[in-house]
Chains A and B, each alone.
Chain A
Amino acid sequence: MKQEGKRSIWNDYQKEIADDKFYYVRSCIRQNFFPGSETAFLKILREVLEKDVFDDRHHTTCTGIGYHAEVVPLETTMTVVGRNFALMKEAGYQNYVPSCVTSFGIYTEILDSWHHFPEVEARARENLDKATGRTFEIPGNLAHTSDIIFKFRNEIAAKAKYMLVNKTTGKPLRVVDHIGCHYAKMFPQKGIGGAEYPYVLAGMVEAWGGEVIDYPERRHCCGFGFRQYLVKANRGYSISCSKKKFESMEPEKPDFIIANCPGCAYFLDRWQYALAEMEGKTYGEDGHGIPSLTYEEVAGLVLGFDPWELGLQLHQVPVESLLKKMGVAYDPESKFRGANGEDLGQPESPLNLKFYE
């Protein structure tokens, strides 16, 4: 399909995204996988874009992991979601912004269920009232954090310190975008660009000077799925999905991967280590892997945040190759130093995936 055709389809799937006054809901696993990303999101919105974001310490998980692992019943999930909505109402906000794609899927699924089955919503309200005495309101706007960054991509580009351009050659960096399945595959009209041509990350990459790679397995799942990775014996399926993607993107020689789902960014990073150790195969340049970043990390780099403040040292695939291409100034000595400058020690180098220069 011609690019013009894709753009036309993207135009059919545009969603309304709030402009300000966000109620921020954290992800369970992102804070462990890539702890700098959520901090970077808050910093970008508050300090760079000067928006009002409320980071509520009282909200809980959406129960997504338990729900998809079939250990939490749907009624419980709905009640917990109702409680989070009630907290937003009590805080005086209307624009609900979950940081996790699984959560985003949970919220869109539940709101859709309540829309079609009002009696189910009534039962959730009753359960919440009995359990906590709280009442909730349906959010005025529901947008994933990547939607927010997408909305303000041009403002970020206007304040950019570095662009997604190879400083040596002057050519745009070649970027693989990977969208979490629960972002738009369940409810295409809730994602920018729908399920077929999601534009949320591609739009950021283009706005920041990069070139998005279209490759055969672009829309394939990363394999993270809870049923796959929670049971060790099933992880072969998970890693095989990622391998299929790596093999498909490898000939395109991507400079890095950008993802908007906690699991995708993590597994596309860590499975490169596992594949290298299991098969001796690496997919980057000279025995390196392909750096896999979250969109907040990329936005942070573009805005000139310190890479180690963004938590990029927690990636299994080192990001130094990308930093050098972009011309980002960084101190190699402080990569493994704590917030107060203390030495945290250096990780052991994998056998097959090049970790140190």
Chain B
Amino acid sequence: MADFGYSLVKSGKTDLDTAGNALARSVSEAEPGFNLCIACGCCVATCSAGRFTNFGFRELIHRIKRGEEKLMIAEAEKCMLCGKCTLVCPRNINTRNIVLLIRKHAIIKGL
């Protein structure tokens, strides 16, 4: 196929027919701090796993809210659970617990 020096941008559209909000709902019920995120990115800046992979906690929360459940369950596996993001979060969100809740949800639902 032809290469014109630019490429197509993947659509960020949320397909309401396929998006699932079960993960977002179960995590936010167990850890209400899930809804307090202001997407400041301090968690990403301090992330140990993010030094070696493209993992980012801010993106994780954002995309779970958009309904990308399966992709984000796989993404959460990259977290090393070091807890540095919990220390720096200006909203005192228990980020570590959120990752554990995502993994728990995946096990319960067999995802």
Contacts and interface: CB of A to CB of B under 8 A. Distances in A.
Interface of A: 232-237, 239-240, 243-244, 274, 277-280, 351
B82 interface: no
Chain B's interface: helix, strand, loop or mixed, by majority? loop
B11 interface: yes
Contacts of B4: 235, 274, 277-278
Nearest to B9: A240
B52 interface: no
A239 B13 contact: no
B5 to A, nearest CB: 5
Interface residues of B, number: 11
Nearest to B2: A277
Contact of A236 (B1, B8, B13): B8
Contacts of B8: 236, 239-240, 243, 278-279
A277 B6 CA distance: 13
Interface of B: 1-9, 11, 13
Nearest to B3: A278
Contacts of A279: 1, 8
A237 B1 contact: no
B111 to A, nearest CB: 29
B11 A244 contact: yes
Contacts of B7: 236, 278
Nearest to B8: A240
- 5 A-B pairs with least C-beta separation: A277-B2, A240-B9, A235-B6, A236-B6, A236-B7
